[in-house]
Structure 1
Amino acid sequence: MKVILLLICLLFCAVGSSRDFVMKKKRANRYYSHFDFHRAIPIYEKILKKDPQSAEIYEKLANIYDRINDSQNAERCYAFLTGEKDNTEIRPFLLLNYARALSRNGKYPLAASWYKRYQEAVPEDPRGAAFSDAYQNMELFYKDSACYTIQKAPFSSDADDFSPAYFQNIIVFSSDRTKFSMVRSTYNWTKSSYLDLYVANPEDKEANPFSNKLNSIYHEGPVTFSKNQDTIIFTRSNYFNSRLHKSKEGINKLSLFEAIWDSKSKTWINIQPLSLNDDQYSNEHPALCPDGTELYFASDKPGGMGGMDLYVSHHITDSQGTGSWSPPINLGPGINTPGNDMFPFVDHQGNLWYASNGIPGLGGLDVFFACKLMEGFSKPINPGYPFNTRFDDFGFITLDAGESGYLSSDRYNSFGNDDIFSIKQSLRHHNIWVFDEKTKKSLPFTRIVVSEEGAEPVTILSNSKGREDIKVNPFKSYRFLVANKNYKDSRLEFRREKLQELDTIKVALVREAPLLMLKGFIFSATDNKPVQGATIVLRNKFRSFNEELKCDANGLFQLELQPESDYQIKVAKTGTKIKCWPATINLSTKGIRKDSTFTPSIPVYFAGDVIVMKNINYKLDRWDILPETAKELDHLVLLMNENPELSVELRSHAISTDSKKYNMELAQYRADAAVNYVRSKGITAGRIVAIGYGETQLITKSPNGFDRSPDQNRQSSRTEIFIPNNVKKM
């Protein structure tokens, strides 16, 4: 009988124990479904002690530890779930999550092997191959480690402090610091206070709540300010007008809100949710571009590429002057990944900084930099260690394109709490070497023009060994123009990812063959005297490139020309106040294979000049335009076409043995014929007039009243152009 009673007792104990086990599991599952993780964890861990092979419990714990950034325990759980205890196939997401936990714990070789297994399981996901390959070449992440100085910000506390933002001369950030409240203020996920906005001076240890108008009983997170800082856009739990909005699944999502600064009351007013929000998904982490016309943010809205994607919305104004935000556009596969892409920031040059765990990094979230292009952004760049670590690194902001700023990270913390760090970057040293491509000889004293993105070009000279040290900002692109006499200019452009791979920038210059020189002379068309200090514009038609140079006191100038090019040479300025009109010279270096020198002489025509036109000839007592006369008049047509504001008077002088009246008529006929020819070439009638002077303006007069010689008559029988003073200057 005693034995029977003992068996009945044991049976009731077993039933009671089993019932207790089931009840605990139900309670833990209820906490889990409500994201009450700090209550669910100890129950699940107790269940595992009684049922150490429960894959269901291990998976729930793995998910919880992932979410609260406890990578050590997450690794333990995923190790069990991926253990090959039977022939059942391991689900791919477990392979990926295990690899991510290993990398966050700094176990890169092991992580690489699990990323490789994930690649084999899901070949269409680029993360498997990308992370596996990256962890075979870890030194790239540490190459610039000496370029950064990182310190914990004085105002960062033992609580979660993250996502700083610049506001005036202070820093606004999110924090779950413990605060007194008469209403519910504990977040079940972490058993910490809900996030609020705080503000601190950069050098102070103390921080205070930013605004009692903006902070609510739920989360307020990352913020962004307009350029004039009278508008704030901030993340908040979807809580408005004392109502907590939830999705169909009963989850309170995050949304974007806007408020306006009232300078009179010194407070934020008109708090409103953005029209972009939706109860079914989260919009968070806002970032305005410098001019405020673009709003970047993270969202898990349907149709994205992964967990959280980055989107951009444009500010539009309707015909009534009312502003609104356009439907958001996904930034696409160049930025977004199958992982989480979040915490955007746009610097003053329009470059994008953001955090991602979908691009190879050191573990957790890493900060990435993408340069602003004409369309979209460049390929994201990982700045490496210590900018990034194996922990979560995110929420970077800067005022100077990455040279300094603030960064959020949970590095150095056992429990995953985030801190804010100040970061300063020193310039990276590179050596540039210029040499002859064929002989490999160094080219000393070579001119190197260094153009840093967003800065004025700086010109340096290579030393006697053809080398020079330069310092570069790792987050900027650079252009180099390398020029040496008798060598072809070399133009190079390096983006950050290319510079990162180089210690020495090698520039091989190609010797120009042949050497083509321009040695010109600027002179007055009236007396052939040099024009001093004239400015010449040389246009390379092939390269669409203009170059200016000045002639010396003797009217001379010289310049090396490029091969296979057509040039136009024109005098732009003469250094005198007298009105003038230059001729234009065209020359070509095409087809020239030997060293050559061009020596053009360029006439300049000044107001008041009277220029005798050579090779203007007529038959006896005739005014027909002869071929050589037409050729000379064509030069005048060209000059007037090149100087459309130029007007001239064409003068004809005729001397013969006939009467003065006859000579006057003959001169007028000849002047008219020449002018009509010029007009037939497209010169308008108002720009050229014909005047015959007969023998009224002789060059040589007969001495003592005797008859003039035939040679004297030929000199006086001439055609001239006169440039009056009442025409416009060139």
Structure 2
Amino acid sequence: MKLLKPFSLTVLIFSFGITIAQKNYKKEADVAFVGEKYFKCIDMYKKAYTKERKAAIKAEILFKIAEAYRLSDQCGQAEVWYDKATKAQYPDPVALLHIANCKKLAGKYDEAIVFFNKYKAANPSDTRGEEGVKACTQAQQWKDKPTRFEVTHMPIINSEQYDFSPAFSDKKSQEIYFTSTRPGSTGAAPSDVTGQSFADLYVTKRDKNGKWSEPTLLGIEINSEFEEGASAINSKANQLFFTRCKFDKVGKFGCQIMTAKRAGQKWSEAELIPIAADSFAVGHPTITPDDNTLVFASDMPGGFGGKDLWYVVADKKAKGWSQPINLGAKINTPGDEMFPFIKDDGTLYFSSNGHPGMGGLDIFSAKKLGENQWGEVENLQSPINSNANDFAIIFEGNENKGFFTSNREGGKGADDIWEFYIRPLRFALKGTVKDIETKKPLADAVIKLVGTDGTSAEVKTNSDGEFEFEKNGNEDYIKENTSYSLVVSKNKYLNAKGKETTIGHTDSKIFVHEYELQPIIKPIVLPEIVYPYNEFYLTDQAKDSLNFLYNVMIDNPNIVIELRANTDSRGKDAYNNKLSQKRAESAVNYLIERGIEADRMKPKGYGKQVPRTLDRDFGPELKKGTVLTEAFINSFKNNKELFEQAHQLNRRTEFSILRTDYVSTRPSQEGEQK
């Protein structure tokens, strides 16, 4: 992991505050190692290795060199030296685990799995081997199927050194404070941990064209001769919280949270927030949107692992903060949880190497459940997370865009700040409109689109019957998380309706609709309505068939129809006329009960007066265009099945359009015409 960051990612700077002098260490390299001065101790260990004679001690030195490289975030070199240590018979199989994690950090998931399995075989009681195998398998899946986020590098902000932990320092998200070890810091001495300058806080501003300025160093009110970084600001943008880390006179390294208040453009001198005893490290502060709760990371006792997330609540009467409270086992693990950030909607974001991830530190989220309570932890997956270290994410308000830190490939320096935004889904809707009988395309049909977001649009079909809703200027017609209703209309045709939704879609898509319109020039036969013999009341089956007509009336509120009931040619004319009239009236009454206006329907019983003209083939003897007259049907008396089929086709209920200019005179009622 990266080192030399105030209260940083690593186990090294954010530690239990070990003193440099240790009675059990004789060599200078050991003293530097225990003091976390990894940059300094690596060269000493290499010199010590050349002078050492004992094989066991030489193997231990190789392991210490590997550890120093790993803890200074140079995992490539660490892997080389761990391999040398294992070949030199270093006895602790943890070297295999570290090799596996280094390969995982390099994105070599298949190779990492091999070493996780080796570690599992050497130390079967330790679950880290099996967990590593599962994490690598999951990481590869996330890498193969990234989320919709887009990630871009920010060369104007980043340097060849460490640049990390961005934080918005104004109300409009147009100014960022971030941490950097670039040359020119307030602290003149180079760090014994990395050999680079001490970390300080810098500021960059975004102009009206969206371009960020060259970073400048904050003043001495904030920056000091020590390490400063990992900051946050309150909702009024007038109080800053940040981390300061330093070695004391006896060589103990510690981190604390500082605060400063702004009057105009100037900050007051920073003051300490006394959260924990000096023997423990606290840092990486973030403040909730209501400014009442400060969340931070610490290694204080009572946690679940290395570094945990804790919070304190503002005590306005005492003008201080409450005792620290741990965020609990849902958030914290036996590993490290750091760099918290709370979005405006209350969602907690943080970095962890304890939850299953893709590499070193991954960024996770947990939705707010209640006052200072958060739910299940979710990995943000690729491309926000990578096989490298990814941490310190911030969002612009509640928007799905912001900044985070990563040491992934493609950067400029050690740690770099990256920008992210969610790639919008693109939707379009296209289709065709045809005549239901001829199957020919219909030109100039009107398609009206109405969305649940209140938008509406209208297009016409071209000469090929095609239509498309794609772009409306710079905006899409079809938007995310929206449902749409469509009405297709054309003169002398019944309307058709359709529905579409983008809710639940996680990928861009082109929706395709095909519509076939019913011409209204001739009567339209309803689905079969079966009446009891010699009766006219409606069965459940008859009502189901009439629901087709009900939907037609709802979809076409401008039409007035004649509802026609027809009998077959058997029986007396007067009786058939009377029965068919009652059946037609029964059907109309049902539709009135459902909410269709009575003056839109004219019931008419035709008895056997209007034999059916077939609109399609019903068999080799019953061809399209055949008129089912009594004489024609009687020609099949010797074929009982065909004879009955022809009579059945004549027994029908149909409707024809009388007018298309109906305007309702009554207000629609909620719940009516459903």
* TM-score over 0.5 (shorter chain): yes
Which aligned pairs between 1:586-601 and structure 2 lie closer than 5 A?
Answer: none
- What does residue 100 of structure 2 align with? 99
Are the counterparts in 1 of residues 226 and 244 from structure 2 also a CA contact under 8 Å? yes
- What does residue 301 of structure 1 align with? 300
Structure 1 pair 300–146 and aligned structure 2 pair: CA distance change class (3 A):
same
- What does residue 340 of structure 1 align with? 336
Q: Determine what percentage of the aligned residue pairs are the same residue.
A: 25
Q: Does 1:224 align with 2:247?
A: no
Offset from partner CA, 1:603-662 (integer Å, 9 cap, x none): xxxxxxxxxxxxxxxxxxxxxxxxxxxxxxxxxxxxxxxxxxxxxxxxxxxxxxxxxxxx
State the Cα distance separating 1:286 from its structure 2 match: 0.9
State the Cα distance separating 1:150 from its structure 2 match: 0.5
Give the AA of the match of 1:289: T
State how far apart, in whole Å, the 1-side matches of 2:667 and 2:107 are: 73
State the Cα distance separating 1:154 from its structure 2 match: 0.3
Which aligned pairs between 1:428-577 and structure 2 lie closer than 5 A?
Answer: 428=425, 519=595, 553-554=665-666, 557=669, 559=671
State how far apart, in whole Å, the 2-side matches of 1:328 and 1:432 are: 54
Structure 1 residues not aligned, in runs of 5+ = 1-23, 434-444, 451-455, 471-477, 506-512, 522-550, 563-730
Give the AA of the match of 1:107: K
- What does residue 257 of structure 1 align with? 258
Structure 1 pair 502–61 and aligned structure 2 pair: CA distance change class (3 A):
farther
- What does residue 207 of structure 1 align with? 215
- What does residue 150 of structure 1 align with? 152
- What does residue 63 of structure 1 align with? 67
State how far apart, in whole Å, the 1-side matches of 2:399 and 2:249 are: 38
2:48 counterpart SS class: helix
State the Cα distance separating 1:224 from its structure 2 match: 0.5
1:99 counterpart SS class: helix
State the Cα distance separating 1:197 from its structure 2 match: 1.0
Give the AA of the match of 1:261: R
Q: 2:162 aligns with which of 154, 160, 163?
A: 160
State how far apart, in whole Å, the 1-side matches of 2:129 and 2:333 are: 9
Are the counterparts in 2 of residues 361 and 382 from structure 1 also a CA contact under 8 Å? no
Give the AA of the match of 1:71: C
Number of residue-to-residue matches in the alignment: 466
- What does residue 641 of structure 1 align with? none
Are the counterparts in 2 of residues 344 and 355 from structure 1 also a CA contact under 8 Å? yes
Structure 1 pair 346–127 and aligned structure 2 pair: CA distance change class (3 A):
farther
State how far apart, in whole Å, the 2-side matches of 1:297 and 1:125 are: 28
Q: Does 1:175 align with 2:192?
A: no
Structure 2 residues not aligned, in runs of 5+ = 1-24, 431-446, 472-479, 488-496, 512-542, 551-592, 598-662
Which aligned pairs between 1:368-407 and structure 2 lie closer than 5 A?
Answer: 368-374=364-370, 375-385=373-383, 387-401=384-398, 403-407=400-404
The alignment's TM-score, normalised by the length of structure 2, stands at: 0.58
- What does residue 574 of structure 1 align with? none
Q: 2:198 aligns with which of 194, 198, 202?
A: 194
Structure 1 pair 45–317 and aligned structure 2 pair: CA distance change class (3 A):
same
1:310 counterpart SS class: strand
- What does residue 328 of structure 1 align with? 324
Structure 1 pair 500–70 and aligned structure 2 pair: CA distance change class (3 A):
farther
Structure 1 pair 147–197 and aligned structure 2 pair: CA distance change class (3 A):
closer
State how far apart, in whole Å, the 2-side matches of 1:491 and 1:423 are: 27
Q: 1:237 aligns with which of 239, 245, 252?
A: 245
State the Cα distance separating 1:238 from its structure 2 match: 5.8
1:187 counterpart SS class: coil
State the Cα distance separating 1:308 from its structure 2 match: 1.6
Structure 1 pair 286–430 and aligned structure 2 pair: CA distance change class (3 A):
farther
- What does residue 140 of structure 2 align with? 138
State how far apart, in whole Å, the 2-side matches of 1:458 and 1:117 are: 60
Give the AA of the match of 1:425: I
State the Cα distance separating 1:402 from its structure 2 match: 5.7
Offset from partner CA, 1:14-62 (integer Å, 9 cap, x none): xxxxxxxxxx971211222222222211121233345576221122112
State the Cα distance separating 1:220 from its structure 2 match: 0.6
Which aligned pairs between 1:593-632 and structure 2 lie closer than 5 A?
Answer: none
Are the counterparts in 1 of residues 189 and 198 from structure 2 also a CA contact under 8 Å? yes
Are the counterparts in 1 of residues 151 and 418 from structure 2 also a CA contact under 8 Å? no
Structure 1 pair 132–180 and aligned structure 2 pair: CA distance change class (3 A):
closer
1:192 counterpart SS class: coil
Structure 1 pair 503–82 and aligned structure 2 pair: CA distance change class (3 A):
farther
Give the AA of the match of 1:175: S
State the Cα distance separating 1:215 from its structure 2 match: 0.9
Are the counterparts in 2 of residues 289 and 346 from structure 1 also a CA contact under 8 Å? yes
State how far apart, in whole Å, the 2-side matches of 1:115 and 1:469 are: 50
- What does residue 704 of structure 1 align with? none
State how far apart, in whole Å, the 1-side matches of 2:427 and 2:348 are: 25
Structure 1 pair 269–555 and aligned structure 2 pair: CA distance change class (3 A):
closer
State the Cα distance separating 1:71 from its structure 2 match: 0.7
2:378 counterpart SS class: coil
Give the AA of the match of 2:671: L
State how far apart, in whole Å, the 2-side matches of 1:272 and 1:554 are: 73
Are the counterparts in 2 of residues 519 and 558 from structure 1 also a CA contact under 8 Å? no
Q: 2:421 aligns with which of 421, 424, 429?
A: 424
State the Cα distance separating 1:142 from its structure 2 match: 3.8
Offset from partner CA, 1:667-721 (integer Å, 9 cap, x none): xxxxxxxxxxxxxxxxxxxxxxxxxxxxxxxxxxxxxxxxxxxxxxxxxxxxxxx
State the Cα distance separating 1:225 from its structure 2 match: 0.6
Structure 1 pair 330–481 and aligned structure 2 pair: CA distance change class (3 A):
farther
State the Cα distance separating 1:413 from its structure 2 match: 7.7
Structure 1 pair 504–32 and aligned structure 2 pair: CA distance change class (3 A):
farther
Are the counterparts in 1 of residues 153 and 411 from structure 2 also a CA contact under 8 Å? no
State the Cα distance separating 1:70 from its structure 2 match: 0.6
State the Cα distance separating 1:457 from its structure 2 match: 8.5
State how far apart, in whole Å, the 2-side matches of 1:163 and 1:58 are: 33
Give the AA of the match of 2:306: G
Give the AA of the match of 1:298: A
State how far apart, in whole Å, the 1-side matches of 2:501 and 2:147 are: 30
State how far apart, in whole Å, the 2-side matches of 1:503 and 1:330 are: 45
1:98 counterpart SS class: helix
**Farther-moved stretch of structure 1 (134-143 vs 409-418):** 409-418
Structure 1 pair 491–145 and aligned structure 2 pair: CA distance change class (3 A):
closer
Q: 2:189 aligns with which of 172, 185, 188?
A: 185
State the Cα distance separating 1:210 from its structure 2 match: 1.0
State the Cα distance separating 1:552 from its structure 2 match: 6.6
Are the counterparts in 1 of residues 161 and 413 from structure 2 also a CA contact under 8 Å? no
State how far apart, in whole Å, the 1-side matches of 2:507 and 2:104 are: 24
- What does residue 281 of structure 1 align with? 280
Give the AA of the match of 1:31: A
State the Cα distance separating 1:213 from its structure 2 match: 0.8
Structure 1 pair 118–403 and aligned structure 2 pair: CA distance change class (3 A):
same
State the Cα distance separating 1:291 from its structure 2 match: 2.0
State how far apart, in whole Å, the 1-side matches of 2:213 and 2:283 are: 28
